[in-house]
Amino acid sequence: MAGSAAALAGMGLGAARDAVAQAAPPAAPAAARPLPAYVAWKDPAALIQHSGTTIETRRSAFGTSPITPVDRLYIRNNLPAPDASIVADRDAWTVAIEGVKSPRSFSLAELKGLGVETVAMVLQCSGNGRGYFPSKPSGTPWTVGAAGCVLWSGVPLRSVAAALGGVAEGMRFVTGTGGEKLPEGVDPKSVIVERSVPLSVMGDALLAWEMNGAPIPLAHGGPLRLVVPGYTGVNSVKYIKRLAFTAQESDARIMSHGYRISPPGGKGDPSQPSVQEMAVKSWINSPSGEGAALKAGPVQITGVAFGGVHAVFAVEVSVDGGSSWLPARFVGPDLGRYAWRNFAVEARLAPGTHKLVSRATDSTGQVQPKDRQENAGGYNNNSWADHALTVVVA
């Protein structure tokens, strides 16, 4: 097994598709190094490894479909994934439901009887785009690839609550607790992944067991994950073992002090805004600016755009760094307001250097801003100027 694990780790699915067919040694892409064992089934050529638990999708690896393949999707885990034994019998996983009229635990098998819904949703790390902050905040310097659009299937929280008599009086938050094994010798509250979101997410949030048509891989929170559409990734708690409707936000450190919009140079505290709803954002994926110069001729400029909790309404593209703008058209099916949409615009670029940017507008009229909102954590970067890319046409 060590041999095959190593082979997988060095190859990944995408390369394997071609390499196995060729029955020849895989040519590892120059920049790819082996992925950690728990994500060895991902495609290293499509990914940038920052660390064993922080891996992003290359800009050039996003296609023009609204759904991101799981083997190209980013990884960001606050704690190491639990032991794989938890996915050996997925239906046996249990989650405690609290803050309802009749609290109880459900096995995953039981949850599946309560209802099923499928939601397409942008999953984006709170710090996606942090790499563009000149202040170099601590944390992973993500560029565009700590994001993807995923189909989640599971039972709506509203169906779970309804099956237990409804949410108890006075509850204002949905608090999810992850099932990661905590390091010993430290205050559990200082490390546990426990997040609270407003009760208003109840309309569309799920307890999900499936992503993109297959059981959720362990690396992405399987067997059961809380999914909060329109919110940054940290709020969609993996390996959820407790779902509580609560009167107060969790006092876990990741909630009280982590993921806060703090002034530059400052530290997080509970008085500051929590990183929750995503804002309108877009970026260009192709041409990617990677590799050789483009040939002159018609080029399709493509990218993705989303509005967080609102649908994206329109996208404009500039090939001169934002001096002038062209309307882009949407490409492919609309998967609902939490999904991203692919966009395209055709251009003919003269030989030379061009600065490409995109700017999205959501259904409420909010326009993606030119400038980032400075903050100590490097969160929520939706600046269109920061996401510019430079291409050379020969």
Write out the binding residues for a second copy, residues 45-84 only, by CB under 8 A.
Answer: 46, 62-72, 81, 83-84
Look at residue 94 and give its three-state secondary structure: strand
Name residues contacting a second copy, limited to 312-331 (CB under 8 A).
Answer: 331
Q: Does 342 bind a second copy (CB under 8 A)?
A: yes
Q: Is 17 in the site for a second copy (CB under 8 A)?
A: yes
Q: Is 7 in the site for a second copy (CB under 8 A)?
A: yes
Terminal alpha carbon distance of the chain: 48
Label the pairing between strands 147-156 and 206-211: antiparallel
Assess 124 for contact with a second copy (CB under 8 A). no
Helix (H) or strand (E) holding 358: strand 352-362
CA 354, CA 322: separation in Å to the nearest integer?
Answer: 11
The helix (run of H) or strand (run of E) holding residue 371 is: none
- 92: contact with a second copy by CB under 8 A: no
291 binds a second copy (CB under 8 A): no
Closest C-alpha among 195, 200, 197, 161 to residue 178? 195
Binding status of residue 161 toward a second copy by CB under 8 A: no
Q: Which of 2, 30, 350, 394 binds a second copy (CB under 8 A)?
A: 2
Q: Minimal distance in Å, beta carbon 29 to a second copy?
A: 13
Please tell me whether residue 122 binds a second copy under the rule CB under 8 A: no
Work out which of 41, 166, 325, 366 binds a second copy, going by CB under 8 A: 41
Structure-token pair, residue 346 = 């055709």
- CB nearer to a second copy: pick between 139 and 154: 154
Q: Are 209 and 284 in contact (CB under 8 A)?
A: no
Amino acid at 242: R
Task: Establish whether the linkage from the previous residue to 29 is cis, with ω within 30° of 0.
Answer: no
Please, which residue, 335 or 385, has the CB nearer to a second copy? 335
Q: Strand order in 326-327's β-sheet? A: 326-327, 312-318, 352-362, 389-393
| Residue 6 or 247 with smaller CB distance to a second copy | 6
Q: Which residues pair with 51 in a beta bridge?
A: 54
CB of 3 to a second copy, least distance (A): 6
Contact flag: residue 16 with a second copy (CB under 8 A): yes
CA atoms within 13 A on the CB side of 79: 21
13 binds a second copy (CB under 8 A): yes
Q: Amino acid identity, residue 77?
A: N
Does 112 sit near a second copy (CB under 8 A)? Answer: yes
Contacts of 141 (CB under 8 A, 6+ apart): 50, 130, 131
Question: In 363-389, which positions are buried (b, 16+ CB within 10 angstroms) versus exposed (e)?
Answer: eeebebeeebeebbbbbbbbbbbbbbb
Query: Residue 218, interface with a second copy (CB under 8 A)?
Result: yes
Burial 20-40 (b: 16+ CB within 10 A, else e): eeeeeebebbeebebbbebbb
Nearest to a second copy of 16, 182 (CB atom):
16
Tell me: does residue 113 bind a second copy (CB under 8 A).
Answer: yes
Q: Is 1 in the site for a second copy (CB under 8 A)?
A: yes
Pick the stretch among 47-55, 92-100, 187-195, 332-340 that binds a second copy (CB under 8 A).
332-340
Nearest-approach distance from CB 83 to a second copy, in angstroms: 8
Give the pair of three-digit tokens for residue 215.
């059981």
Q: Which is nearer to a second copy, 7 or 202 (CB)?
A: 7
Residue 161 CB, nearest approach to a second copy (Å): 16
Q: Print burial letters for 327-351: b (CB count within 10 Å at least 16), e (below 16).
A: ebebbeeebebbbbbbbbbeeebee
Q: Is 18 in the site for a second copy (CB under 8 A)?
A: yes
| Region near a second copy per CB under 8 A, out of 10-18, 97-105, 235-243, 375-383 | 10-18
Number of amino acids touching a second copy (CB under 8 A) = 82
The interface region with a second copy, picked from 1-9, 124-132, 226-234, 258-266 by CB under 8 A, is 1-9
Residue 186 makes contact with a second copy by CB under 8 A: no
